[in-house]
Amino acid sequence: MAELQSIVILTGAGISAESGVPTFRAADGLWEGHRVEDVATPEAFARDPGLVQTFYDARRAALAGVVPNAAHRALAKLDRDFAGELLIVTQNVDDLHERAGAERLLHMHGELKRALCLACGESHGWAGDLRGAPACPGCGAAKLRPDIVWFGEMPYEMERIEAALATCDLFVSIGTSGAVYPAAGFVQTARYHRASTLEMNLEPSAGTGWFDEARHGPAGVLVPAWVEEVLS
């Protein structure tokens, strides 16, 4: 730990579970009552924009009722106090990392609180609803969609992520099932570049065998303990 100079942390839905945000792959295989292909693909949006907008409007509104948990707060503390390089890459579209205070953070799957204009291509901070086709604050067109990376679309900031994975000493994966690429392959990239790898998840992920070390339990317990180890 004393020699650590650069850490990349990948987080998934499991880190927000203890805040009350449902994970994606619940036992029923549905995401909040919907099949993923009915709400999280460009084809679904083309077929039924009203359903998709209403679905994400509800997710966005629900953020007002949740708060960061001990795991988000611990990573924010690490961000504040770790003197080396750090990048937190989240697959989550909630805003709980930043509300806990994390700054060295990027959202590879987009953000509920942003809207993307299909006319001018600009992304805007967005707090309200998108159903009802509000005008883009930039160009005025009624062409806004959630700024979320859907299945079949390219995640954000891949070059920056790949560069960080190529130079980190430690890659840590927290609260992700390892089912969705490219994020599921980050552990292999980090290993290829000789980083140490650590998984923290409630249960073994699909890629658990790729990690040097795996700790299984709730993120709200495991992550604060690990952050103390790194900072001590």
Letter for the amino acid at 1? M
Cβ proximity to ligand OAD: between 26 and 141 the closer is 26
- Site for ligand OAD, rule CB under 6 A: 12-14, 17-18, 23-25, 36, 40, 91, 109, 149, 151, 175-177, 179-180, 201-203, 205, 218-219
Closer to ligand OAD at the Cβ: 6 or 123?
Answer: 123
CB of 61 to ligand OAD, least distance (A): 18
Between 79 and 94, CB nearer to ligand OAD = 94
Look up residue 97 and give its two tokens: 């990392």
Closest separation between CB of residue 35 and ligand OAD, Å?
A: 11
How far apart, in whole angstroms, are the C-alpha atoms of residue 62 and residue 14? 17
| Contact call for residues 41 and 150 (beta carbons, < 8 A) | yes
> Hey, what amino acid is at 190?
A
For residue 46, count CB atoms less than 10 angstroms from its CB and return exposed for 0-12, middle for 13-18, buried for 19 or more: exposed
State the residue for tokens 């079949």.
152
CB 97 within 8 A of CB 112: no
Listed in sequence order, the DSSP H helices in the chain are 14-17, 36-39, 42-47, 49-62, 70-81, 96-100, 158-167, 186-192, 219-231
CB of residue 205 vs ligand OAD: minimum separation in angstroms? 5
Catalytic residue among 34, 72, 109, 124: 109
Q: How far is CA 191 from CA 8, 65, 209, in A?
A: 12, 38, 12
Instruction: Pick between residue 6 and residue 208 the one whose CB is nearest to ligand OAD.
Output: 208
Is residue 109 flagged as an active site residue?
yes
Task: For residue 172, list its beta bridge partners.
Answer: 9, 198
- Which CB, 53 or 205, lies closer to ligand OAD? 205
> Cα(178)–Cα(182) distance, rounded to whole angstroms?
9
Catalytic residue set: 109
